[in-house]
Amino acid sequence: MNPEENEDMHQIDDLEHKLYDPKQVNGEDSLHHVHNHKEVDLPTDWGENTPIITPVEEKETSFSFGTKVLFTALIFLFVVLSFTAWRVLSSRNVVSLDNIDITLDSKPYVDGGETTPFSVSVFNRNTSSLQEAVIIISYEKGIGVLDEQQKVYEKRVLGTILPNSLKKEDLNITLYGAADEVRVISVKLEYKVAGANAVFNKPATTQVVLKTPPLSVHIDGQTSLVQGQNSTFNVFVSNNTSIEIKDSLVVLSIPTTFTLNKTEPKPNTKGMMWSIPSILPGATSTITISGSFAGMPGEVDTIKASVGAASTAVNQMGVVYSQEAHSISITSPLLSLGSRLETDRGGAESLRYGDKAIVTIFYENKNDKALRDVLVVANIGGTAPIISGISSDGGYYDSINKTVTFNPVTNRELSSVAPGAKGEFKIYIPVVSKGNNSPKLTLVINGTATSVSKDDTATQISKVWNVEGSANLNAFTSYKNSTFTNTGPIPPKANVNTTYGAHLIVSAQNSLVNSRVSFILPAYVTFTGVYATGTNVTYDNRTRTVVWDIGNISAGGVVSNDIQISVKPSQSHVGQTPPITSSVTLEADEADSKARIRNISNALTTELLREQGSVDISHVVAN
């Protein structure tokens, strides 16, 4: 290439360099006036394989380690400050149970029946007040001489308990019971806090032990008796101290089903209270009572005894030293007895002047073994019978003792009665033709037999019939002959409901006012609320008492009523005609003489005397 051509090539290269070099064209270091710029190398020469523009990787921007630590510290500080502020603001109404101290102060051992000091202290260690604070004290008091309630609740108002303040409440408690009994006294604190409507509480408890009393009482007697069986109970009062104890009292509480026959010694008054002038150290005084229970089989009756010091008032106990309860289970008799009254005029379970009463006595062996040497004695009493005219079929009548006896001598079949075997006797009793208002015929039937040992089986039943006086009450059970429709199986089945009508008839010889008839229903009988139209009948669910309020009855008037009741016999009633009411009572006042009239009829049973046919429809059968 000649020099001229070289020079042309050099000029072309120079032009090319100026054309593609921005620095040369613009004469400045930065394009587009970017403040933060980077140095970028652009090609100034076109190579054969060189791209026009070569991209350069940009370096990633990041914070330094120190900056990251600073940011983390700031975030943690913000969280701490926020929590602290929340805690301070919210703690204004926060009350912790752990900061409430309840202290119960009492003697660990207390004397039964004595008044014992007891105190409750509440200390508030919270920063907020306890508002409307009250304490509720509860404990088992035990039965006192007058049968006070067992559970005692007492409430005391404390008001507001300020922060770091103490409030104390003093009271007295009295506990009854036997030695070494442990009683728990419970206290519950209830309070509110500012800004809240809820009631908060904190409980506390303590225990006390009853000490051995100076006098203790113990009841000794049978724990299982047959209905109507006579039994004796001994009440022992012992002196546990080394000194003589004077002027003590013993009080017995017996159930209404207990018929008292005898006490030794005699009580102070008509009530069951005895005075014991003196008991020497280690000595024991004994009180004996005898009688029988009329409860239904399966029931449990209880005799309670209390002994304590006499108060300044006459026949009143001050401090109760000791108590004991003795429970007796009523069982079904192995020798079952029953009776039915009829008259020569055909009336059943009622008497009138001049009647000749026919008393039928039934017996049955309920045992699974034969009963030997069966003895049945009927004791006849009251002002209604004419003693000289009494007779019987096969029995021996003792006119002096007014008894009729049936035994293996008078009735050979009584020497051995097979299981399930039955029999009956009849006694004829003439009734006086006149007398005082409602003279009575009483009948007490005692039965004994030998099952394993001699006379180990005993039972007793009693009946009382009133001769119709100025007012007569007649009551019987009906099913088909009721004024309403009865339902349920006949004969009645165990555990199945059958409705009956209690048919009541009241007649008056003279005008009567304030007349009413009442009876009580057993637990297995229900009042249905159905009765004769136009009558006034009420039922008290608490006492289970049905009352027919009659009001006035004119002279010679007769009123009647049918009251429906539902009976659900139990399995223990199978083979029996269980009572479905208590004794039925008529109470009234004579309008002229103002004399009070009170007639009592025997309890109604499932026995349908006026509907009985050839088939037994009265005795309960198994379901």
Q: How confident is the model over 91-139, as pLDDT tens digits?
A: 555 688 889 999 999 888 887 667 889 999 999 999 999 999 999 999 9
What residues contact 363, with CB distance under 8 A and at least 6 apart? 335, 336, 337, 338, 374, 376, 417, 422, 423, 424, 447
Over the chain, what is the mean pLDDT? 84
Q: Give the residue with greater pLDDT, 237 vs 256.
A: 237
pLDDT one-digit tens code per residue, 290-313: 988 887 778 889 999 988 887 777
Q: How many Å apart are CA 342 and CA 350, to the nearest integer? A: 7
Q: Give the residue with greater pLDDT, 5 vs 257.
A: 257
Q: How many Å apart are CA 263 and CA 286, to the nearest integer? A: 11
Structure confidence at residue 62 as a pLDDT band (50, 70, 90): low
**In 3D, which of 302, 215, 291 has the Cα closest to residue 252?**
302
Architecture in CATH for domain 470-623: Sandwich (2.60)
Of 35-44, 70-79, 466-475, 586-595, the least confident: 35-44
Burial of 322 (0-12, 13-18, 19+ CB in 10 A): buried
Q: Give the pLDDT mean for 534-538.
A: 94
- According to the model, what pLDDT value does residue 433 have? 80
Architecture in CATH for domain 97-210: Sandwich (2.60)
Q: What angle do CA 346, 352, 355 make, to 5 degrees?
A: 60
Structure confidence at residue 148 as a pLDDT band (50, 70, 90): very low
The percent of residues above 90 in pLDDT, for the chain, comes to 46
Most confident by average pLDDT, 51-55, 58-62, 218-222? 218-222
Domain spans, the chain: 97-210, 215-331, 339-468, 470-623
Structure confidence at residue 470 as a pLDDT band (50, 70, 90): low
Q: Give the pLDDT mean for 459-486.
A: 86
| DSSP code at position 21 | -
- According to the model, what pLDDT value does residue 60 have? 53
pLDDT for residue 541 is more than 90 = yes
pLDDT for residue 145 is more than 60 = no
Q: Give the pLDDT mean for 357-371.
A: 91
pLDDT one-digit tens code per residue, 171-204: 998 877 667 788 899 999 999 998 888 999 999 9
Record the tokens describing residue 90, joined without a space: 């919210």
Phi and psi, residue 84, nearest 5°: -65, -45
| DSSP code at position 351 | B
- According to the model, what pLDDT value does residue 5 have? 61
Q: How many Cα neighbours within 13 Å face the side chain of 465?
A: 28
pLDDT for residue 505 is more than 70 = yes
What residues contact 121, with CB distance under 8 A and at least 6 apart? 101, 102, 103, 105, 166, 167, 168, 169
pLDDT one-digit tens code per residue, 381-438: 998 899 999 999 989 999 999 999 999 999 999 999 999 999 999 999 999 887 555 6
Q: What angle do CA 409, 410, 411 make, to 5 degrees?
A: 95
Class of domain 339-468: mainly beta
Homologous superfamily assigned to 215-331: ntegrin, alpha v. Chain A, domain 4 (2.60.40.1530)
CB 111 within 8 A of CB 176: no
Q: How many Å apart are CA 350 and CA 463, to the nearest integer? A: 12
In 3-state terms, the chain is what percent helix, strand and coil (to 5)?
10, 50, 40
339-468 and 470-623, same CATH topology: yes
E-state strands within 332-421:
335-343, 356-365, 371-381, 391-392, 396-398, 403-406, 416-417
- According to the model, what pLDDT value does residue 435 have? 59
Rg of the chain (C-alpha set): 49
Record the tokens describing residue 312, joined without a space: 């300044």
pLDDT for residue 27 is more than 60 = no
